[in-house]
């Protein structure tokens, strides 16, 4: 296995290399300008109860967006926090448990009934489980929340035609990914979707694999939504770099104090780390682009496996087969 592939494979190397990545010199994409605002735009963001999602919700509200926070917890207090931080009252909260596909369907129904349409969707929520767990969906939890839920949510929103398409700017679908999507050597096509046991030692590796699935899905989605060279949707992905969030909440209690200290000292605050998410949501520089990927505030190609159209097609087919069997889409 080549060395770069091992960068984010376990909690220790992931933390160390995440910190090292922060100090590498890279060319920035640019700055959001004062006139790049989101007044009149409606944004749906998942996982807005904590960390990066919560900070993004505040920043988007400060830019004038109407923000729908789709959350599993924190109703109503996290919404109140966003209102207070942004000075905006245009904040709404809807409940969703992304490990339960019925709950995702309910969320989409509620969006349709209450808001009719949205301009921007940010798929931010994710989990790092300490061990393999069966979710309400009938699939392993990380596979379910970090990949399948995104596939279902996006496709249901598209099926219900909930994106506003008659604006000057294209609808934007933004996936919060991770550089760890580059780690896996290959796709596990043979037993795709099958419950796999893993423990703490392998959870970061599994997390990287599901980020690969999500990033491959993002690229395939962009190809499918923009088939003839005239972009109709922007499908973006990004890695925010290491964030001082609650992502490592399932780390064993004995390591928590040290981890919290390392996160606090070296990782970025969610307020700072959300810059690429906010940039991709609001910047005019990326207007009309069918796809893009940022690592921190620098443009990068996605991993070759994720960008490969054959892999994208195969992933779409395998996922559809898996979900159709369960009548989930
Ligand atoms: N932290 C990092 O260093 C880092 C690095 C690269 C990428 N990222 C990515 O950044 C994104 C945000 O993570 P974070 O770092 O901000 O972690 P976080 O503080 O743990 O936030 C994760 C969010 O996802 C939500 N979530 C988890 N499972 C859910 C479920 N079943 N249904 C609905 N919501 C669920 C959580 O809700 P609850 O509050 O209810 O649990 C929380 O709001 C993730 O996609 C993560 O992979 C993080």
pLDDT in tens, 69-106: 999 999 999 999 999 999 999 999 999 999 999 999 99
CB 171 within 8 A of CB 163: yes
Would the pLDDT of 327 be above 80?
no
Six token digits for residue 272? 């700072």
**More confident site: 24 or 309:** 309
| Dihedral in degrees, nearest 10, Cα atoms 21, 236, 38, 82 | -60
Share of the chain above pLDDT 70, in %: 97
Residue whose CA lies nearest to ligand 1 atom number 11: 124
Atom of ligand 1 nearest to the CA of 144: 31
> Of the given ranges (79-83, 130-134, 172-176, 323-327), which has the lowest mean pLDDT?
323-327
The pick from 77, 247, 262, 280 for probing ligand 1's pocket by mutation, whose C-beta has the most ligand atoms within 8 angstroms, reads 247
> Of the given ranges (41-50, 129-138, 259-268), which has the lowest mean pLDDT?
259-268
Would the pLDDT of 39 be above 70?
yes
Q: How confident is the prediction for the chain on average, in pLDDT?
A: 94
Residue whose CA lies nearest to ligand 1 atom number 36: 47
Q: What's the pLDDT at 251?
A: 87
| Dihedral in degrees, nearest 10, Cα atoms 302, 163, 46, 37 | 80
Atom of ligand 1 nearest to the CA of 47: 43
Would the pLDDT of 309 be above 50?
yes
Reported as a single tens digit per residue, the pLDDT across 215-263 is: 999 999 999 999 988 899 999 999 999 999 999 899 888 888 888 998 8
Atom of ligand 1 nearest to the CA of 55: 16
Displacement of CA 130 from its chain's centroid (Å): 20
Q: What's the pLDDT at 107?
A: 98
Q: What's the pLDDT at 2?
A: 46
Atom of ligand 1 nearest to the CA of 211: 47
Per-residue pLDDT band for 1 (boundaries 50, 70, 90) equals very low
Mean pLDDT within 58-78:
98
Q: What's the pLDDT at 132?
A: 97
Instruction: Report how far residue 308's alpha carbon sits from residue 220's, in angstroms, rounded to the nearest whole number.
Output: 9
Atom of ligand 1 nearest to the CA of 141: 31
Would the pLDDT of 3 be above 60?
no
Instruction: Report how far residue 67's alpha carbon sits from residue 214's, in angstroms, rounded to the nearest whole number.
Output: 23
**More confident site: 5 or 223:** 223
Q: What's the pLDDT at 19?
A: 80
Q: What's the pLDDT at 329?
A: 54
Q: How far is the CA of 126 from the centre of ligand 1 (A)?
A: 4
Q: Which residues line ligand 1 (CB under 6 A)?
A: 47, 49-53, 72-73, 96-99, 124-127, 145, 176, 178, 239-240, 242-243, 245-247
The pick from 22, 44, 48, 51 for probing ligand 1's pocket by mutation, whose C-beta has the most ligand atoms within 8 angstroms, reads 51
Q: Hunting for tokens 């994720």 — which residue is that?
A: 306
Reported as a single tens digit per residue, the pLDDT across 165-212 is: 988 899 999 999 999 999 999 999 999 999 999 999 899 999 999 999
Question: Which ranges of the chain does DSSP label H, i.e. alpha helix?
Answer: 11-22, 51-62, 77-86, 101-115, 141-143, 149-159, 200-225, 256-266, 270-273, 275-282, 304-307, 309-325
The pick from 45, 49, 245 for probing ligand 1's pocket by mutation, whose C-beta has the most ligand atoms within 8 angstroms, reads 245
Mapping DSSP to helix (H, G, I), strand (E, B) and coil, where does residue 71 land?
strand
> Of the given ranges (2-16, 137-151, 187-201), which has the lowest mean pLDDT?
2-16
pTM, to two decimals: 0.95
Q: How far is the CA of 166 from the centre of ligand 1 (A)?
A: 32
Please, is 308 exposed, middle or buried when counting C-beta atoms within 10 Å of its C-beta (0-12, 13-18, 19+)? middle
Residue whose CA lies nearest to ligand 1 atom number 1: 243
């Amino acid at each position: 296995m080549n060395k770069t592939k091992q960068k984010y494979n376990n909690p220790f190397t992931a933390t160390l290399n995440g910190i090292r990545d922060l100090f590498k010199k890279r060319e920035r994409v640019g700055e959001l300008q004062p006139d790049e605002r989101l007044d009149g735009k409606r944004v749906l963001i998942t996982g807005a109860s904590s960390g990066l999602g919560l900070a993004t919700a505040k920043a988007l509200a400060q830019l004038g967006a109407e923000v729908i926070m789709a959350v599993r917890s924190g109703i109503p207090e996290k919404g109140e926090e966003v209102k207070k931080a942004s000075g905006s009252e245009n904040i709404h909260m809807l409940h969703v448990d992304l490990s339960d596909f019925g709950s995702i369907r309910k969320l989409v129904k509620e969006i349709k009934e209450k808001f009719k349409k949205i301009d921007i969707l940010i798929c931010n929520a994710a989990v790092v489980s300490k061990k393999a767990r069966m979710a309400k969906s009938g699939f392993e939890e990380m596979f379910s929340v970090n990949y399948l839920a995104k596939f279902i949510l996006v496709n249901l929103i598209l099926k219900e035609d909930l994106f506003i398409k008659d604006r000057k700017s294209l609808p934007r679908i933004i996936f919060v990914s991770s550089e760890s999507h580059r780690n896996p050597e290959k796709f596990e096509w043979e037993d795709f979707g099958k419950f796999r046991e893993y423990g703490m030692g392998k959870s970061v590796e599994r997390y990287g694999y599901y980020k690969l699935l999500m990033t491959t899905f993002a690229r395939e989605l962009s190809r499918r939504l923009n088939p003839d060279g005239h972009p109709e949707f922007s499908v973006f992905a990004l890695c925010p770099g290491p964030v001082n969030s609650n992502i490592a909440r399932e780390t064993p209690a004995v390591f928590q104090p040290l981890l919290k200290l390392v996160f606090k000292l070296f990782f970025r605050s969610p307020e700072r780390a959300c810059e690429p998410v906010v940039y991709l949501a609001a910047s005019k520089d990326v207007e009309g682009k069918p796809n893009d990927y940022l690592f921190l505030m620098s443009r990068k190609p996605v991993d070759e496996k994720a960008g490969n159209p054959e892999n994208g097609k195969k992933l779409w087919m395998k996922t559809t087969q898996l979900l159709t069997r369960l009548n989930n889409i």
